[in-house]
Structure 1
Amino acid sequence: MRIKSIETYRGAIPLHTPFKTALRTVTVAETIIVKVTCEGGIVGWGEAPPTHVITGESLASIDYAIQSIFKSLLIGETLQMREILFQKIENSMVRNTSAKAAVDMALYDCIAKQADLPLYQLIGGAHEAIETDYTVSVNTPDEMVQDAKNYIQNGFSVLKIKVGKDQIATDIKRIEAIRNEIGPDIQIRLDANQGWQAKEAVRAIRRMEDLGLEIELIEQPVIAYDLDGLKYVTENTDTPIMADESVFSVYDAKRVLEIGAADLINIKLMKSGGIHQAIKIAKVAEAYGVECMVGSMIETKIGITAAAHFAASQPNVTRYDLDAPLMLTGDIANGGISYKRNQIKLGNAAGLGIQTIEEKYIVEKS
């Protein structure tokens, strides 16, 4: 089963409300969609959003990587030699991890369709359904409290709260106000998006511990490259610390785990370069006895479906941050995962289960 063609589309879907973190504000989900067509009419789908502040990629750079680098390497190659395909993608360019991920997930979609299995079953089959959190953007304490209440009323029992944009005292006020309003039964996890310094992070986390705010975990409290700072925070607080932007590759994960810089790892396909490398990161973490979360950028249902299938395939992936499609005003894809409140259902369709894309969200075709 050989690869016949690789096409790219530029898509855009507005968000219901702006998504705000310590790093950026997003109002429109822009993305590059990939369509891989193989002999026999098998079609695989993938996507890559431009997340400049994390991966350094743009719409133009993603499209260039796919059309000018990956396409010539893959056309005519067979799905049966999958390791060669993924090795070619990984070795053809440094970084450019989102572009790699888009092609990687489209190839996995084709491979699973050829096998006539849902992708999560083909690559592991650890879970049949998973539960996502919902993210509370950085806003005023009153706005964040109201958002948290709304998400709980809509059936979410785990909230991921963005902090790190303002002074830490303001962050603590935000979390205290939310906890006081929602009570003790809702799980709260925090994401500082690299917004704190190591010592102030320790002071803040200890203060939240003393206040009894019952934070499940703190994600990426310090700048990505500061592994010593990350280790300092991990060693000097009781709350579990999760590495996110500090871990792009299996080598990053190995380094973080070797020095004990974090208690948990957040794997994102757009950081790892796709499912193939993400599986390796999960297996390294499993060898160290470390659990993982699977997260995402602001992606459409195509990318999140791939992330959900990867997450459901691995036994040490125990947390899921896959709420991005719920923030959008429409679905760019027909098929794929479905949501029932906080539950993500993977379905029984072969591959990712993506059938077609909605033309009304397509801005340009390459």
Structure 2
Amino acid sequence: MKITRIEAIPFAIPYRKPLKFASGEVHAAEHVLVRVHTDDGVVGVAEAPPRPFTYGETQTGIITVIDRIFAPQLTGLSLLERETMHARMHRTVGNPAAKAAVDMAVWDALGRTLDTGVTELLGGYTDRMRVSHMLGFDEPAAMVAEAERMRDRYGITTFKVKVGRRPVSLDTAVVRALREELGDDVELYVDGNRGWTPAESAAAMRQMADLGLLFAEELCPADDVLGRRWLVSQLDVPFIADESAVTAADVTREILGGSATAINIKVARSGFTLAQRAHHLAEGLGLEAVMGNQVDGQLGSMCTVVFGSAFALTSRRAGELSNFLDMTDDLLTEPLQITGGELTIRPGAGIGVEIDPDKLAHYRQDV
């Protein structure tokens, strides 16, 4: 069960349309496939999605830090030496997506070695999650049409609405249109990606007070410390810390400081190991938790289902699991299928998916 090699393979798959949010926009999934090889011939896989607007990582940077720093540090370790792995990777500041992908590929390799699913290794609470679909910036009619299409085709009834534009009325009009057209049978929450000031956020939430929102997420920057605390103290819905709560220490700071009342767990930036710590902390503090998405492909989305379904807390709410639908293709031999508004884990060992070698050869960028 010893690691013999770690690969970081760049690939790019176009989106059907640009994905736009307050912190930037992306036109293609320029991601990194991470493969962890062991001396038993097992290969674990995971996906690293660069998000330079949020965490400063690029595709080239992820490949470089894995090839030059993490792979030499981890080669020769057992798959069970995860604390040693994290201690060694922690010496390098930042690089959350690179670290997370290595961690998840290690878990996948461990599950394959033990012939056990990672969900079972983590907790095994259930085998599925409800799906929340993210709606990016657009005109109200277009966003309503997309939500209706997702509801009618896939059974999705929870929508995360990207907000953060100026004036705030651009986005409050969208949310109102969604509620009026879709009715009370759907769940709506908003995510500002730090795009508004605290005052703008408060004004927007007052305008939407009658719309029955589930949550508000990262409406304003966390480093506007006093303004954020002021905002959170006024809200009557949970305020989710996302980009501001990557680690368990971040969660502690945001919650105890009064800057958030719930958290977003994203395995694409924490891996399974650090996500466990955030989950246990949220459970102990009695916080709401949602499973988020880094605009992942199908491999990354399945990693989110694998973790989220392992625990009661993270499977309670719909997870952000549908962004792979915006991609024109993917790398898996068996594509994911959203049915009845749900995604289920795959039977079998590890994460439960396989990479199609022909698709990887077609989309990889290092050959």
TM-score, reference length from structure 2: 0.94
Partner Cα separation in structure 1 for residue 141 and residue 36 of structure 2: 46
- Residue 99 of structure 2 contacts residue 269 of structure 2 at CA under 8 Å; is this kept in 1? no
Q: Which secondary structure state, in structure 1, belongs to the residue aligned with residue 246 of structure 2? A: coil
Q: Which residue of the partner structure matches residue 243 of structure 1? A: 241
What aligned pairs does 1:151-300 form with structure 2 within 5 A after superposition? 151-154=150-153, 155-209=155-209, 212-272=210-270, 274-300=271-297
Work out whether residues 198 and 230 of structure 1, in 8 Å CA contact, stay in contact via their aligned partners in 2.
yes
Q: Secondary structure, in 3 states, of the residue corresponding to 2:6?
A: strand
Other-structure match for 1:137: 136
Aligned residues: 362
Q: Check conservation: 2:12, 2:365, Cα contact below 8 A.
A: no
2-side partners of 1:92 and 1:262: how far apart?
A: 28
**8 Å Cα contact 1:34/1:106 also seen in 2:** yes
Per the alignment, residue 118 of structure 1 pairs with 117
Structure 1 unmatched ranges of 5 or more = none
1:76 corresponds to which residue?
76
The aligned residue for residue 308 of structure 2 is: 311
Deviation at 1:341, TM superposition (A): 4.6
Partner of 2:364: 363
Aligned equivalents of 1:127, 1:214: Cα separation in 2 = 28
Return the letter of the residue paired with 1:183.
G
What amino acid maps onto 2:363 in structure 1?
Answer: I
Could you say which residue in structure 2 is the equivalent of 1:99? 98
5+ residue gaps in structure 2? none
Contact residue 336 and residue 354 of structure 1 kept, 8 A: no
SS at match of 1:62: helix
Local SS of the residue matching 2:214: strand
- Report the counterpart of residue 50 of structure 1 in structure 2: 50
Displacement of 1:34 in angstroms is 0.8
Cα distance in 1 for partners of 2:134, 2:348 equals: 29
SS of aligned partner of 1:33: strand
Pick closer, same or farther for the CA change 1:345–1:7 going to 2, 3 Å: same
Matched, 1:343 2:339: no
1:285 partner letter: A
Partner amino acid, structure 2, of 1:64: T
> Given the superposition, is the C-alpha separation of residues 301 and 346 from structure 1 closer, same or farther in structure 2, using an over 3 Å criterion?
same
- For normalisation by structure 1, the TM-score amounts to 0.94
The amino acid that maps onto 1:108 is W
CA distance in 2, matches of 1:284, 1:223: 23
How far did 1:314 drift? 2.4
Kept after mapping to 2: 8 A contact 1:290/1:316 = no
State the one-letter code of the partner of 2:124.
G
For 1:6-21, list aligned pairs within 5 A: 6-21=6-21
Superposed displacement of residue 226, structure 1:
2.8
Distance 1:276 1:343 in 2: 24
Higher mean C-alpha deviation, range 219-228 or range 188-197:
219-228
AA in 2 matched with 1:168: V
CA distance in 1, matches of 2:177, 2:335: 37
How many angstroms apart in 2 are the aligned matches of 1:81 and 1:223? 36
Question: Aligned Cα RMSD in Å?
Answer: 1.7
User: 1:144 and 1:42 mapped to 2: Cα distance?
Assistant: 44
Question: Could you tell me which amino acid in structure 2 is paired with residue 107 of structure 1?
Answer: V
Q: Does 1:60 align with 2:57?
A: no
Deviation at 1:263, TM superposition (A): 2.0
CA distance in 2 between counterparts of 1:359 and 1:110 reads 19
What is the SS of the residue equivalent to 1:222?
coil
Counterpart amino acid of residue 279 in structure 1:
Q
> Does the CA contact (< 8 Å) of 2:2 and 2:77 recur in 1?
yes
Aligned mates of 2:149, 2:306 — CA distance in 1:
28
Q: 1:124 to 1:336 in 2, by over 3 A?
A: farther
In 2: Cα distance, 1:106 partner to 1:201 partner: 39
How far apart, CA to CA, are the structure 2 residues paired with 1:361 and 1:167? Answer: 43
Q: Distance in 2 between matches of 1:336 and 1:352?
A: 14
Identity of aligned residues (%): 30
